[in-house]
Structure 1
Amino acid sequence: MASPHLFLCILLVVFGSYLSTISAAGDVTPRPNRAGAAVPLVHRHGPCAKSPSTDKPSSFAEALHRSRVRADYIMSRALRGRGTTTTMEGKYVVTLGLGTPAVEQVLLMDTGSDLSWVQCAPCNSTDCYPQKDPLFDPRKSSTYAPIPCGSNVCKSLQSNHLNNGCSMNGNGTQSQCGYRVEYGGGLKTRGVYSNEALTLAPGEVVKDFHFGCAYKQRGADDKSDGLLGLGGAPQSLPVQTSALYGGSFSYCLPPVSSGTGFLALGAPSNTSDFSFTPMTDFMDDGTSYLVKLTGISVGGKQLRIPRKVFEGGLIVDCGNIISHLPSTPYAKLRSAFRAAMAAYPLIPSDDDDTCYNFTGYSDVTVPKVALTFTGGVTVDLDVPNGVLLDGCLAFTESGSDGYVGFLGNVQMRTLEMLYDARGGGLGFRAGAC
């Protein structure tokens, strides 16, 4: 008999084109009609991954370290004018078609990046990292074209410090637009900024999608074929397709161990089941999305936290695993959570993390944690998937009170996160995947 997880994966393939959401019980619930397109989204260690990763999921200590590195780089990028971009840590991927005929590409999804790219042939093992799928070969696509160096599209890279200058074709007569991206985790990618057909779903083709055709990579990789940028700058997928889908998009991140979520372009025709909080850009970053947290509750009890300590706001970052809170909110949350979990043994930690040893416990009761945002929007995090990671409270300290924090992808799990470009808000819908 097929496993429940396999059954869920098959259901999503069958109903994916109808924008259906699959619940943990295996039910198929139609989502609000959209004028846009939706594609399945999975965790690369999850059971529905196209090619499940053979490496082990990061431990909490590893995830926390990488999360802090990513947060530091986002802050430094904003302060020094986008010299680098974020680390590749999200681990949620989508499968899209690139070229004509369309070739499947498994791309890491990231709201902290703008420029999308894939590794391109010809590229040997010295210049490109190993990937499970064949490299995208632009020579086999009838719709591929390099972007000219002097074009406005190429000039837009210069304003975002993504341009690597102009490279000459083999005949030395035609210049091409070069790109270069350096990620905080050590990965560097460069190649030709290009134009291609991008297939989102059957019948949903973006004819002139600008992406990086990568010919040289250095440093660590995340085993995907490339990256899909969902930030707010002109190079991102939502901005490039704003004429088609209005610039809005949403996603639902499933728990690692079960089911499939989705990435959808365009806003639902009916948003009555969403709760919205105002959303702005972060500083002059142009990429990151910012919301304001106003309160936290644990086990249904509101914590006594002065609202002024939240003034820095939270960067909504699906590429960051763990949420970061200023010192006072983090300390209050940690204390209340530990009190509610007093029945379970804490694992000693030099970093004062909140991790538990659940060995021998057949039933673990995790308290409900809720976040309240500007406008009185209260979001109940999924329990335990939106609260715990590897048996640890998936929050850490961002810095002093008033400092900018991060809303990580653990806390987003099972929620539909709707980035409403026209309304300037972030919408939350519970139990979406």
Structure 2
Amino acid sequence: MQQVSALPPVLLLLLLISLSSSSCCHGANAAAGDHHDFMVVPASSLLHLSQGAVCSGHKDDGLTAMPPHNRAAWVPINRPHGPCSSAGAMDNMVDNMLLWDQLRTSYILKELSDSRAGKAVPTIDANAAPAPPVVKQDSMMMEGNITMGPQPNVTCNATSSSMATSDAARSGKPGVRQTVIIDTSSDITWVQCLPCPVPQCHLQKDPLYDPADSTTYAPIPCGSRACKELGSSYGNGCSGSGQCNYAVNYSDGRATTGTYITDTLTLSDNTTSINGFRFGCSHADRGPFGDRTAGVLALGGGPQSLRAQAAPTYGDAFSYCIPLPSSIGFLSLGGPPVGLLPRFVLTPLIRNPRAPTFYIVRLEAIAVSGKRLAVPPAAFAAGAVMDSNAVITQLPAVAYAALRAAFRSFMGAYPRAAPVLNLDTCYDFTRSPKVTLPKVSLVFAGGATVPLDAASIMLGGCLAFAAIPGNGSLGFIGNIQQQNYEVLYDVGGGSVGFRRGAC
């Protein structure tokens, strides 16, 4: 049975730079308005993710094309711990994020390595004793809501051109709102379902989905194509009544098992639905998954994911914008409106047929203060995983060493601080109300250049990049570097796109 990458307790869907000895000169240039190779930002913005921030809602970027809320299928997203969330602040946020990040990316690297070598992916015994919680990570993910079950209103169904009275109106029991984890590196969507007793299941903030209350629910028979499609990766045999069962084992010992079913999935605006959506109805899980989430919304490259199931209606593409703490972002099914396409820079999407779940791109260069670092092109040859849950960008050792040297050279005027786990380039900004940072850009194959904002260069006063552990060469593009960009996964078109300042 194939594992998928470890999930944090809450990745929820409704879903921070180099003064050398001449740093005074950088400051003078900044005052004179020369911002070609550096930026000046408040020091406080580099230290805490949400301290003192106020939720500003959706960003108005002045576009004349459709804003996100007018797209065919979209969901607003925000951080679980920030001013746009109802959850409280999380202690030891950076430490937790980095511990989680190491766990997740190490597993993805192992799975990709095993797949390339043709090895069977190891499984975790779903009946084994629960693994002790290793880390709590729920600060850098995306949160929002979907609805499972009949639509609550009379509406135009997204999978049909006709107007009709919904099943919910006839039955009097609309679908239930569910807070779910969004994950681009897993394939099976699932939510907890009644019966789901504690401790076999975890507590959640939303009402549990009950198939018995849904007029649009249907079981998936064992002999069906949908059940066979689970294969050895996710299939878990049959129930006594011939109903298809599923199981998902995550890399940190978490797991979920239950029945594989269909029902209507409705996005948070209650106007966009997918009828007959296939997902896991979880009757037992091994966690912790946290007390806010009901399950996982999977957007991976496999045929069971939401991306694949939505493709016939919306096209084989999706995008998201991970917001800064003070903003609200979005997840959108399908490609962007035609008027927005020229605003994206594109790079080829690389797929591994042995591990189709994952989305890979090729980083070609890194520019600091407008100059490309002297890194051999071969260092980037293995590519980098685009992942919604990986936190920081991880680079091959030679590339990270070059970035670190350039960054430290520019930041020479600021006192160094102790490393924070695998972040080894940290600074003490307590006597610096403003900080001058070099501009940093990621350059992808095809020439797609992605300039980073200050909050995407530093995290907790540290350079938000690290070297790939061990001898690995496959990198990761973390969500710190993705934030404030609309990231387009055009799977059908074979490309990944970036649009700056989208949320």
TM-score normalised per structure 1: 0.87
Instruction: Return the alpha-carbon distance in structure 1 between the equivalents of residues 450 and 422 of structure 2.
Output: 28
Give the C-alpha shift of residue 401 in structure 1.
7.3
Give the C-alpha shift of residue 351 in structure 1.
4.8
Instruction: Return the alpha-carbon distance in structure 1 between the equivalents of residues 465 and 423 of structure 2.
Output: 12
Partner of 2:204: 131
Q: Of residues 490, 495, 501 in structure 2, which corresponds to 1:420? A: 490
Contact 1:117 1:228 (8 Å CA) reproduced: yes
Deviations 1:373-421 (A, max 9, x none): 11111110122x2112222212111147771111111100000101112
Aligned-partner SS, 1:281: coil
Give the C-alpha shift of residue 330 in structure 1.
0.7
Partner of 2:236: 164
1:233 matches 2:340: no
Aligned-partner SS, 2:144: strand
Contact 1:81 1:285 (8 Å CA) reproduced: no
Give the C-alpha shift of residue 151 in structure 1.
0.8
Q: Of residues 264, 270, 281 in structure 1, which corresponds to 2:351? A: 281
Q: Of residues 229, 238, 250 in structure 2, which corresponds to 1:183? A: 250
Instruction: Return the alpha-carbon distance in structure 1 between the equivalents of residues 422 and 464 of structure 2.
Output: 13
Counterparts of 1:202-351 in structure 2, within 5 Å, are 202-222=270-290, 223-255=292-324, 257-268=325-336, 269-270=338-339, 271-282=341-352, 284-349=354-419, 351=422
Q: Which has the higher strand share?
A: 1
Gaps of 5+ in 2: 1-51, 125-134, 151-173
> Which entry has the higher C-alpha Rg, 1 or 2?
2
Give the C-alpha shift of residue 242 in structure 1.
0.7
Partner of 2:432: 361
1:150 matches 2:223: yes
Contact 1:67 1:322 (8 Å CA) reproduced: yes
Which amino acid is the alignment partner of residue 468 of structure 2? S
Distance 1:57 1:389, change over 3 A: farther
Deviations 1:224-265 (A, max 9, x none): 22111111101110101110011101000001x211000001
Give the C-alpha shift of residue 37 in structure 1.
0.8
Deviations 1:191-215 (A, max 9, x none): 1111010112332110111111111
Deviations 1:55-108 (A, max 9, x none): 6165333322221221121122231445469x9866212211111112211111
Q: Of residues 194, 199, 203 in structure 2, which corresponds to 1:121? A: 194
Distance 1:239 1:83, change over 3 A: farther
Aligned-partner SS, 2:403: helix
Which amino acid is the alignment partner of residue 101 of structure 2? S
Partner of 1:17: none
Q: Of residues 140, 143, 149 in structure 2, which corresponds to 1:93? A: 143
Partner of 1:70: 104
Gaps of 5+ in 1: 13-20, 169-173
Distance 1:390 1:185, change over 3 A: farther
Instruction: Return the alpha-carbon distance in structure 2 between the equivalents of residues 57 and 295 of structure 1.
Output: 35
Distance 1:133 1:32, change over 3 A: closer
Distance 1:75 1:4, change over 3 A: closer
Distance 1:276 1:340, change over 3 A: same
Q: Of residues 53, 57, 72 in structure 2, which corresponds to 1:36? A: 72
Instruction: Return the alpha-carbon distance in structure 2 between the equivalents of residues 401 and 420 of structure 1.
Output: 31
Give the C-alpha shift of residue 35 in structure 1.
6.5
Distance 1:400 1:217, change over 3 A: closer
Instruction: Return the alpha-carbon distance in structure 2 between the equivalents of residues 290 and 307 of structure 1.
Output: 17
Instruction: Return the alpha-carbon distance in structure 2 between the equivalents of residues 183 and 218 of structure 1.
Output: 10
Distance 1:186 1:156, change over 3 A: same
Structure possessing the higher relative contact order (Cα contacts under 8 Å, 6 or more residues apart): 2
Partner of 2:33: none
Distance 1:250 1:153, change over 3 A: same
Deviations 1:21-76 (A, max 9, x none): 545xxx78754688631110111112222x42x46165333322221221121122
Partner of 1:15: none
Identity %: 42
Moved more, 133-142 or 319-328: 133-142
Instruction: Return the alpha-carbon distance in structure 2 between the equivalents of residues 321 and 295 of structure 1.
Output: 20
Distance 1:402 1:186, change over 3 A: closer
Instruction: Return the alpha-carbon distance in structure 2 between the equivalents of residues 310 and 339 of structure 1.
Output: 23
Instruction: Return the alpha-carbon distance in structure 2 between the equivalents of residues 82 and 32 of structure 1.
Output: 42
Instruction: Return the alpha-carbon distance in structure 2 between the equivalents of residues 38 and 238 of structure 1.
Output: 13
Instruction: Return the alpha-carbon distance in structure 2 between the equivalents of residues 81 and 258 of structure 1.
Output: 44
Which amino acid is the alignment partner of residue 278 of structure 2? H
